[in-house]
Structure 1
Amino acid sequence: MAQKNHTASVLAFEKKLVLSDGYLYGTQWHDRAQVTPLTLQEKSVRGTISNRLKPAVKNDPAKLNAEVEKPNLQTVDTCALSVDQDTLKLHFTLKVLGGVHKPSACNNAMFQQSYAKVARNYSEREGFRELAKRYALNIANARALWRNRVGAESIEVVVRVLNEAHKQSWTFNAHDFNLRHFDNQNDQVDALATTIAETLASEDGYLLLDIACYAKVGLAQEVYPSEELVMDKGKGKKSKVLYSYGENRKAAMHSQKLGNAIRTIDTWYPAFNDPEHSAGPIAVEPYGAVTNLGRAFRTPKENQDFYTFFDDWANGKTLPTSNDEHYVMAVLVRGGVFGQSDK
Structure 2
Amino acid sequence: MELCNLLKYDRSLYPSKAVFFYKTADSDFVPLEAEINRIRGQKAGFTEAFTPQFKPKNLAPQDLTHCNPLILEECYVPPNITHIYCRFSLRVQANSLKPSGCSDPDVHALLEALTVSFNECDGYKELALRYCKNLLLGNWLWRNQNTGHTQIEIKTSFGSCYQIANTRHLDWDSIWPTDAQAALNELSKEFLQALTDPKVFWSADITAKIATTFCQEIYPSQSFGEKAAQGEASKQFSKVKCIDGRYAVSFNSVKIGAALQSIDDWWLEDNIKRLRVHEYGADKEIGIARRSPKSERDFYSLFVNAELYLAELKQQLLNPKESINPDIYYLFAVLIKGGMFQKKAELKKKA
Superposition TM-score tier, normalisation by shorter sequence: 0.7 to 0.9
- 1:184, CA displacement in angstroms? 4.8
1:37-52 alignment to 2 at 5 Å? 37-52=31-46
- Contact preservation (8 Å) 1:127, 1:201: no
Distance 2:276 2:56 in 1: 44
- 1:323, CA displacement in angstroms? 1.2
Candidates 235, 240, 261, aligned match of 1:245? 240
Per the alignment, residue 87 of structure 1 pairs with 83
Q: Aligned pair in 2 of structure 1 residues 122, 57: CA closer, same or farther (>3 Å)?
A: closer
Distance 1:107 1:183 in 2: 46
Distance 2:73 2:8 in 1: 38
Greater Cα shift, 111-120 or 292-301: 292-301
Residue 216, structure 1, aligned to residue 216, structure 2 = no
Candidates 63, 73, 77, aligned match of 1:77? 73
Distance 2:269 2:233 in 1: 39
Per the alignment, residue 128 of structure 1 pairs with 124
Residue 269, structure 1, aligned to residue 262, structure 2 = no
Distance 2:260 2:170 in 1: 14
1:1-343 alignment to 2 at 5 Å? 5-27=1-23, 34-52=28-46, 53-55=49-51, 59=56, 63-150=59-146, 152-161=147-156, 163=157, 166-172=158-164, 173-179=166-172, 181=173, 184=176, 186-233=181-228, 237-246=232-241, 247-270=245-268, 273=271, 280-313=273-306, 316=310, 318=312, 322-343=325-346
Please list the CA deviations of residues 286-341 of structure 1 after superposition, one character each: whole Å capped at 9, or x if unmatched: 11112242111111111111111112126746499621111111111111111122
Q: Where does structure 2 lack aligned partners over 5 or more consecutive residues?
A: 314-322, 347-351
- Contact preservation (8 Å) 2:19, 2:240: no
Distance 1:145 1:196 in 2: 20
Please list the CA deviations of residues 56-76 of structure 1 after superposition, one character each: whole Å capped at 9, or x if unmatched: 99747x825232232210000
One-letter identity of the residue aligned with 2:87: H
SS of the residue corresponding to residue 187 of structure 1 reads helix
- 1:183, CA displacement in angstroms? 6.6
- Contact preservation (8 Å) 2:123, 2:329: no
- 1:27, CA displacement in angstroms? 3.8
Q: Aligned pair in 2 of structure 1 residues 36, 48: CA closer, same or farther (>3 Å)?
A: same
Greater Cα shift, 206-215 or 63-72: 63-72
Please list the CA deviations of residues 52-104 of structure 1 after superposition, one character each: whole Å capped at 9, or x if unmatched: 121599747x8252322322100000111110112221100010111422111
SS of the residue corresponding to residue 225 of structure 2 reads coil
Q: Aligned pair in 2 of structure 1 residues 138, 312: CA closer, same or farther (>3 Å)?
A: same
Please list the CA deviations of residues 87-141 of structure 1 after superposition, one character each: whole Å capped at 9, or x if unmatched: 2211000101114221111111110011100111101111511011111110110
Distance 1:193 1:94 in 2: 14
SS of the residue corresponding to residue 39 of structure 1 reads coil
Greater Cα shift, 317-326 or 237-246: 317-326
Q: Aligned pair in 2 of structure 1 residues 75, 143: CA closer, same or farther (>3 Å)?
A: same
Distance 1:210 1:291 in 2: 29
Per the alignment, residue 319 of structure 2 pairs with none
Distance 1:182 1:104 in 2: 38
One-letter identity of the residue aligned with 2:163: T
- Contact preservation (8 Å) 2:292, 2:298: yes
- 1:8, CA displacement in angstroms? 2.0
- Contact preservation (8 Å) 1:287, 1:296: yes
Greater Cα shift, 287-296 or 70-79: 287-296
Q: Aligned pair in 2 of structure 1 residues 340, 32: CA closer, same or farther (>3 Å)?
A: farther
Please list the CA deviations of residues 193-249 of structure 1 after superposition, one character each: whole Å capped at 9, or x if unmatched: 111012111134221000001111212211011001124236654221111122423
Normalising by structure 1, we get a TM-score of 0.87
Distance 1:266 1:182 in 2: 18
Distance 1:301 1:308 in 2: 9
CA RMSD of aligned residues (A): 2.5
